[in-house]
Structure 1
Amino acid sequence: MTESTLSQQLARFAAETTYDSIPAEVLASVKSRVLDILGICAAAAPLDTSRAARKWASAQGGPGQSSAVGVSDLLPAGQAAFTNGVLAHSLDYDDTHLPSVLHPSASVIPAVLAAAEAHNASGREAIRAIAIGLEICVRLGMAGYDYETKNSTFFEHGQHATSICGAMASAAAVASLRGNAQTISDSIGVAASMASGIIESNRTGGTVKRIHCGWAAQSGISAAGLVDHGLTGPPTVLEGRFGFYQAWLHGSYSKEAITQNLGQRWSVQDIFFKPYPANHFTHAAVDAAARVRNQGIVPAAIKSLTLGVPAPALRTIGEPIEVKRRPETGYMAQFSGPYAVAAGLLGGGGLEVGLDDYSDELAQDPLRQDIMDKVTVVENETCTEIFPEQFPSVLTVHLHDGRTLTEEVLTNRGGPQRPLTFDELAQKFRDNARRTMSSSDMGRLEDACRTLDDQDNLHTVFAELRAIDSLA
């Protein structure tokens, strides 16, 4: 008997993993991530891009199967997954795995929830499938992580690993709801031909990145559905001569990252939650600037600021500096190191810094622009050494009175070293969802996510999300 291929090993893991075999901390983490993603979706519902996604999905027609945020009628599962995946990633508020720099939940959770509704799966079955999908997504992404350069090879090639790996992980997760190892392997093989995404919009603008996780979620459902109708995928889709890693990474990848301790060592609980609605590279800058503010330093007292970041992060949040100092929209501000410093110095509302701090209006606020003009973004060697296990920052503040202050933030809030409690995540959920949901609807959805493993009818669970009125 020949050795199993990589996709076959992943498929066997997915098929053989039961709900009861998953560690309790992973199950709890999944429920928290569902709550987190649905709150983000609710907050993102009014965006123009969200409206476009809903209108496009609704116009495709087909049987009503699954819930899409802001769409009163049920949509075909793939269209619901697309819509919710777009919303889940649109605010850059979704979770991140380090050091792969993947956002696993934004594709896997919309895909699984839509498929679970369509096939009348229970909450327990959905939790199991989400855990499987998240784990596979992380492992596929980590296979493309280069320990020598300390960077994702996907990222170096301009590829959005989140959507690329997310499509295959979503396919495996959806297929695991009702399929055996062979159908799961085939689903991975089919989805590999549907996985895509480039990240130039991180640098110079454009909103196309917002659809990436929606496309991945829809691709996952489509791949699994095509396999149900007889389509097959190559068993060597990952490692083959013309397989996934050869096509995307020119054959530079780690098999061990995919298979080592598979089913024994889980990565799900180590995925970082995001406390701030911006590119994760900027988060430590927000914290560092907030520490300066908490010392009583006001912007008028500041002569200049130097934000030290890891070398690989510099391109995303510090270059070109003239663009990063003048974000035209709230979305562009999410990828700006200078704006993160301004946000931290000025503080937020109910949260330290929240969605309200990344509006189009505030991106062009004269006070924030004045602060951003004072910010220079440079490489910091200490940060580069730590990256990408963390996304650290060192902020040096030069004051008009001649003093110099330095704040180092070397670990990220929301990760294993500085975790967010369930209450903090619930606060984030409520701050997000209050924008489009009533208090009673928020409470019911929060309770449903907290008890997701006891839910049998997911149509009922997500009724509040369908009721959101954001189509106008």
Structure 2
Amino acid sequence: MSEPTIVHRLADFADDARQRGVGVALRDDAARRLLDVLGNSLAAQPSAAAAAVRSVVSEWGGRPMATAIGLPGRYPAASAALLGGTLAHASDFDDTHLPSVLHPSATVVPAALAVAEAVGANGAALLDAIAVGVEIAVRVGMAGYDAKLGNSVFFERGLHATAICGALGGAAAAGMLAGLDAPRIGHALGIAASMGSGLLEANRTGGTVKRVHCGWAAHAAVTAAELARHGLTGPPTVFEGRFGLLQAFCGDLAVPERIVDGLGVEWELPGVFFKPYPCNHFTHAGIDAALRLRARGVTAEDVVKLTLGAPTPVLRTIGEPVEAKRRPESGYNAAFSGPYTVAAALIGGGGLGLFHEDFTDAAARDPRRLALAATVECVPDTRCDEIFPHQFPAVLTAELRDGRTLTERVEVNRGGPGNPLSATELALKFRLNAAGTLSAKRADALAEIIYTTAELENLHTLFEPLHTPRCRSTTSQRRPAVTTRTESAGTT
């Protein structure tokens, strides 16, 4: 008898979790992912990408099966997942796994939510599916991580691993909730491997298509599970094969065995980082360093020059092209700018340090922020290179008008296992994210429901507040979810 292939082992893992559950601790972690995704999704409703997807989903119509956040009625599960995944990723506020550099929940959670509602699953089944889907997504991402390169091969080739791997994790989650057995979950994975895609060029030079990557991956995930249910099949060697996913996307640098090493025993899920700031994760340590300088009394007017040291691979995203990063053309582009985010943090932002109001088009044109950003030079840092991508570190040096030079080095990212967000901070993030669409009372009630998802036999109370929340007007700008400013937030 031949050895089971990787997809067979993943399918058995998912099927076992479907039948036996993943346990209380992992369900609790999955509930936190659910809370984070739904908060991010509510906040992202005004984005132009969400408006485009809402229009498409409305035009498609179809069988009423699942909630499409912010729209009345229900839509086909794949359509609901398309909108949900777009919203989850649109503000770049979604969780991150290192060193794979994936944002797994933004695809897995929307796909799982759509199918769970469509089939009438209970809360425990939903959380089990989320846990397994995230685990599979990041394990596939780790198979494309090259230790010598110190980076994801997907990323080096300009491929959005989040969308590619997320489609697979989402397909497993969707298959579990749809009641597929192990062989058909395997086929769902094999089918989804032909569907995930995404290019990262928009990170460098503009365009809003990246906001839809996780939506399309969630759409693909649900579709793959539905096709598997109706008899479509995928290749048994979809991961390790000569023309399989890893060889196609990563070539000989891929390590397929990482997908199943310790599978079911060693879980990656609890180590996935929550984001405290709604911007590219590579900018976060620089933000933290700027917040520390601010806590030491440094103001924008004190600064002659700022030098932002970062891992060499990161500079392509947050530091190049130089002038485009110093003067981002929009709020969305500002979220991928090292100079802008450092300037915004030093001047002062909202939420947990920076928040949505710091990434509007108007904020990106603020003369004071741009003047400070113009003083920022982004450079490679040897120590940061040694740590990356297990953390996304930074070192910020300020040359001041009084002749002093102050330096802050941040080597452990806020929101991860080494510097976690507290339950209070996660709840605050959700409340602030929901503030523009739900009343404080409804937001707190929804958070309580989410934290007790494992106990829900019927998910109606979870979905009801999402049908037609009070949505802010849709524009091309990223309008603030709240106007609260927390002057001391973010110091560590």
Query: TM class by shorter-chain length?
Result: over 0.9
1-structure distance, mates of 2:213, 2:314: 21
Normalising by structure 2, we get a TM-score of 0.94
Deviation per residue, 1:106-152 (Å, 9 max, x gap) = 00000001000000000100000010100000100000000111100
Q: Which residue of 2 aligns with 1:115?
A: 115
What is the deviation of 1:255?
2.4
Q: Does 1:207 align with 2:208?
A: yes
CA contact under 8 A between 2:398 and 2:407: conserved in structure 1? yes
Map 1:360-399; keep pairs closer than 5 Å. 360-399=361-400
Distance 1:77 1:280, change over 3 A: same
2-structure distance, mates of 1:20, 1:371: 55
Q: Which residue of 2 aligns with 1:174?
A: 174
1-structure distance, mates of 2:117, 2:252: 38
Deviation per residue, 1:170-190 (Å, 9 max, x gap) = 111111121111001100111
CA contact under 8 A between 2:21 and 2:125: conserved in structure 1? no
CA contact under 8 A between 2:7 and 2:237: conserved in structure 1? yes
Q: Which moved more, 1:115-124 or 1:455-464?
A: 455-464
Other structure's SS at 1:93 match: coil
Amino acid at match of 2:347: L
Question: Structure 2: which 5+ runs fail to align?
Answer: 475-492
Q: Does 1:32 align with 2:49?
A: no
Deviation per residue, 1:224-282 (Å, 9 max, x gap) = 10111111111111111111112111243112211111000101010000000000000
Map 1:274-423; keep pairs closer than 5 Å. 274-423=275-424
2-structure distance, mates of 1:68, 1:21: 27
CA contact under 8 A between 1:67 and 1:459: conserved in structure 2? no
What is the deviation of 1:444?
2.1
Amino acid at match of 1:255: P
Q: Which residue of 2 aligns with 1:85?
A: 85
CA contact under 8 A between 1:66 and 1:75: conserved in structure 2? yes
CA contact under 8 A between 1:69 and 1:465: conserved in structure 2? yes
CA contact under 8 A between 2:93 and 2:279: conserved in structure 1? yes
CA contact under 8 A between 1:98 and 1:389: conserved in structure 2? yes
Q: Which residue of 1 aligns with 2:226?
A: 225
Q: Which residue of 2 aligns with 1:65?
A: 65
2-structure distance, mates of 1:456, 1:259: 32
Amino acid at match of 2:388: F
Deviation per residue, 1:71-111 (Å, 9 max, x gap) = 11111100000001000000000000000000000000000
CA contact under 8 A between 2:436 and 2:470: conserved in structure 1? no
Amino acid at match of 2:341: A
Q: Which residue of 2 aligns with 1:149?
A: 149
Deviation per residue, 1:417-446 (Å, 9 max, x gap) = 001111110100001000111122212211
Amino acid at match of 1:10: L
Other structure's SS at 1:462 match: helix
CA contact under 8 A between 1:19 and 1:124: conserved in structure 2? no
What is the deviation of 1:25?
2.8
CA contact under 8 A between 1:25 and 1:269: conserved in structure 2? no
2-structure distance, mates of 1:232, 1:271: 31
What is the deviation of 1:463?
1.2
Amino acid at match of 1:346: I
Q: What number of residue pairs does the alignment pair up?
A: 472
Deviation per residue, 1:369-400 (Å, 9 max, x gap) = 00001000000000110000100000010011
- Cα root mean square deviation, aligned: 1.2
CA contact under 8 A between 2:145 and 2:152: conserved in structure 1? yes
1-structure distance, mates of 2:41, 2:446: 13
Amino acid at match of 1:199: L
CA contact under 8 A between 2:239 and 2:256: conserved in structure 1? no
CA contact under 8 A between 1:19 and 1:125: conserved in structure 2? no
| Over 4 Å off, 4+ runs | 18-21
1-structure distance, mates of 2:64, 2:18: 29
1-structure distance, mates of 2:369, 2:93: 21
Amino acid at match of 1:441: R
Q: Which residue of 1 aligns with 2:480?
A: none
What is the deviation of 1:460?
3.0
2-structure distance, mates of 1:19, 1:358: 44
CA contact under 8 A between 1:66 and 1:459: conserved in structure 2? no
Amino acid at match of 1:264: V
What is the deviation of 1:349?
2.9
Amino acid at match of 1:105: S
Amino acid at match of 2:22: I
Amino acid at match of 2:174: V
Other structure's SS at 2:392 match: coil
What is the deviation of 1:459?
3.2
CA contact under 8 A between 1:325 and 1:373: conserved in structure 2? yes
Deviation per residue, 1:310-347 (Å, 9 max, x gap) = 00101000011100000111100000000111121012
CA contact under 8 A between 2:108 and 2:133: conserved in structure 1? yes
CA contact under 8 A between 2:131 and 2:269: conserved in structure 1? yes
Identity of aligned residues (%): 51
What is the deviation of 1:350?
4.1
2-structure distance, mates of 1:141, 1:199: 16
Q: Which residue of 2 aligns with 1:450?
A: 451
2-structure distance, mates of 1:77, 1:444: 25
1-structure distance, mates of 2:389, 2:157: 17
Question: Structure 1: which 5+ runs fail to align?
Answer: none
What is the deviation of 1:18?
4.9
2-structure distance, mates of 1:367, 1:429: 29
